[in-house]
Structure 1
């Protein structure tokens, strides 16, 4: 059994998974507009300080979507020699451009590690804006993606290749091939139909 993913890993995966299959044959974008970005942030209070009062504007939405595009391109590289998610395999940013965008976004907010130690739990360090700095959502997300890509969880990153799935996931056990059981079922059904077509 693997350790639970870190906060940065969860945020990075959550961001990338805002491109998803809707269950009806279409790939949808959960960050298509300002209200959806606001809702996404508010559902993740550990993503940014004061998430409950977060309100996006068009430049923030554009910056977050650029970080996501960079992250998906770098996730595709991280799963090599496996294939990337089919959702955007044909339109991934070139790796140098993805790196440039991610690093530029991460640099927009100077941050410092802040130590928390509550109750009987162990100490936890979180990256927060430096004194007097303002939270920048794209910067925080870019920093989380960088922390994930340079951390131990990256070795478990996989792209799900079940029919119509576009997700990346962390492999939890050696035999895991899909992001969730329903994807495994779809993949087995698709293989079964393909075998019968070839023998018919």
Structure 2
């Protein structure tokens, strides 16, 4: 969800939080702690002053994000045009998703010290940047295939381009600020209609 929401909007328009390699690296570093728990090689790559193959990793991250936004728009029947994915074809989005998930193999290894519980570690093919995009793609595929996509929602508040997971049956917006904006817009429309 966080990757899809790197496209965001404010009064100034729609923005891309991954538009440069430096911004993509900053985003990866912000979410990296959650990724490195599963794959220790991620921390080394993220901590590097010049991560190996960063430009390709950033490009893959943007391609994956655009594919996920396209597929999520279809799953949620998203009517919004602002912030729409540049990938307009479902087949192309699926192709990108499958390419990214297959681009970097990973494997589990087990360590089992005598007298302790076995511990598994996820090992990634190098460079770790491509592996990160592959891990994120795998998470989306697992969520999509699990049948939980009805819980995905497009925030339909005025001006919002974000997606969210509906965790409560009364939740309609991605945030309370969007809820307030939607209620204010509805109130304005009612008052305007009543005055006509």
TM-score (normalised: structure 1):
0.77
Alignment-derived partner of residue 82 in structure 2 = 87
Alignment-derived partner of residue 36 in structure 1 = 23
Runs of at least 5 residues in structure 1 that lack an aligned partner in the other structure: 1-12, 118-122
* Corresponding pairs, count: 179
- Counting helix residues as a fraction of each chain, which structure ranks higher? 2
Alignment-derived partner of residue 35 in structure 2 = 47
Q: CA RMSD in A?
A: 2.8
Runs of at least 5 residues in structure 2 that lack an aligned partner in the other structure: 37-41, 113-117
Alignment-derived partner of residue 115 in structure 2 = none
Deviations 1:117-174 (CA, angstroms, capped at 9, x unpaired): 9xxxxx99775426xx542233222222222222354331111000111110011111
Alignment-derived partner of residue 145 in structure 1 = 140
In structure 2, distance between residues paired with 1:176 and 1:124 = 38
In structure 1, distance between residues paired with 2:178 and 2:161 = 10
In structure 1, distance between residues paired with 2:121 and 2:154 = 28
In structure 1, distance between residues paired with 2:122 and 2:26 = 22
- 1:94 and 1:20, CA in 2 relative to 1: closer, same or farther beyond 3 A? same
* 1:60 lines up with 2:57 in the alignment: yes
Deviations 1:18-43 (CA, angstroms, capped at 9, x unpaired): 0011x324111100111111111111
- 1:64 and 1:108, CA in 2 relative to 1: closer, same or farther beyond 3 A? same
Alignment-derived partner of residue 2 in structure 2 = 14
Query: What SS does structure 2 have at the residue aligned with 1:109?
Result: coil
Query: What SS does structure 2 have at the residue aligned with 1:112?
Result: strand
Counterpart of 1:158 (choices 153, 157, 173) is 153
In structure 1, distance between residues paired with 2:111 and 2:146 = 20
- 1:177 and 1:127, CA in 2 relative to 1: closer, same or farther beyond 3 A? farther
Query: What SS does structure 2 have at the residue aligned with 1:27?
Result: strand
TM-score (normalised: structure 2):
0.78
When Rg is computed on C-alpha atoms for both structures, the one with the higher figure is 2
Query: What SS does structure 2 have at the residue aligned with 1:14?
Result: coil
Deviations 1:85-137 (CA, angstroms, capped at 9, x unpaired): 543347442110000011011111112246799xxxxx99775426xx54223
Query: What SS does structure 1 have at the residue aligned with 2:31?
Result: coil
Q: Is the 8 A contact 1:31 1:37 kept in 2?
A: yes
